[in-house]
Structure 1
Amino acid sequence: MIADTDFSGKTILVVGGSSGIGNGIAHGFRQRGGAVHVWGTRAAASDYDPADGSDLAGLGYDGVDVGDPAAIEAAATPFDRLDVLVLCQGVVVYKRGEFEREGWDRVMAVNLDSLMHCARKFRRQLSESRGSIVVVSSISGLRGNIGNPAYAASKAGAISLTKTLGQAFAADGIRVNGLAPGLVDTKLTKATTQHPDRLAGRLAAIPQRRMGTPEDMAGAAIFLASPLASYVTGHTLVVDGGLSL
């Protein structure tokens, strides 16, 4: 293992790490020696179905509704130190539900507001370890998304927040960066991935001609959290196979 990507002795929390991209990132750190905890939406790890892309083996787990600021404040922290905080929480509402107040409010609460609440909660521990935060946004934050205004706006906000916290937290010894995935096969993208014609059209627009994988995103997150990126601050790395070119 390359020493710069060895996380032995380090503690990592992946918010939204119960499935999809977050789960891939959690296992990426675990495979590199890290003690990894995840937050998910369900009461217990046993409530998840591996068929949905959930593999919680070897990971600590707590159920926390990050859409509720009080739940974030009250959440237990079963670790003495924290070296890396990955913020990968996210929801989307289809069928134009985000144009309605309920859909808009829920998406913004989870995808944007909770980023700040989580960052604030763990700021002291991350400062003590001179750790880092990795914010997972989306290329939807870099362009319009006609059917999902809250999703696009929240991800644009996440990219801006990454810049601002990168500035604000640097004095505490905390590096804040982010990654913006393109099309990755997860629960959130099934509206595309489970429709062959729609998927073919999306793949045709990706220069690499394939979807991304959670493991692709894990590689980017590990780089950003590692000493290899020690002079990178406030940056969001686009990881999309060229889709946004």
Structure 2
Amino acid sequence: MIEFKNVSKVYDNNVTALKDVNIRIERGEFVFLVGPSGAGKSTFIKMLLKEVDPTTGSIILNDNLDITNLKRKQIPFYRRKIGVVFQDFRLIPTLNVYENVAFAMRVVEAPEKEIRKRVPMMLSLVGLSNKYKSLPSELSGGEQQRVSLARAIVNNPSLLIADEPTGNLDPDTALGIMDILNDINRAGTTIVMATHAKDIVDAMKKRVIAIEKGTIARDELRGGYGYED
């Protein structure tokens, strides 16, 4: 599903973010990406989103797409196939819950009939059917993140990238978000989640890839967080 082959990244200031990374993530896996701040996790995520390119090496998706070779005009279409959830939600403040989720479908020019069918399904999945008319400012942090999740999966992506999705949430709310992510994963979506949430990683016993100083320090199928930060 995702394969990093001899991937290194050296930024213009001669900072090495990743060094000779070789990793394969299979379709349908749930992977936690952990490590100290500055270890290279953000660069790993940005490479998957085609925001930065490797200095050397290649990144292969679905065994046949080398995203390092994508042309600039192909990148927006590639990104439309990936769901992304951020720590700060990134909802459009002037659109209500329904329209925020529908926006992701309109970007890919989905038929309005399909939008009217699928958006309510996603809002039901994340438990927000009764909030569809609410603006983001009228929602709690946990509710906003659930809208973000609904938006991320409304186009049925095969890959969901979650970048610190529980970072701004209290522990109970964070567990609720993880329950939804678990359900999404069980339905077949591959999830790669960068996090510092030790309790969540330790409790869920998913695959853990630890990055330290730009290299893969640990790769465990039922791993723990392993850090104190």
**TM, length-normalised to structure 2:** 0.35
- Structure of greater relative contact order (alpha carbons < 8 Å, 6+ residues apart): 2
**TM, length-normalised to structure 1:** 0.34
Greater per-residue helix proportion: 1
Greater per-residue strand proportion: 2
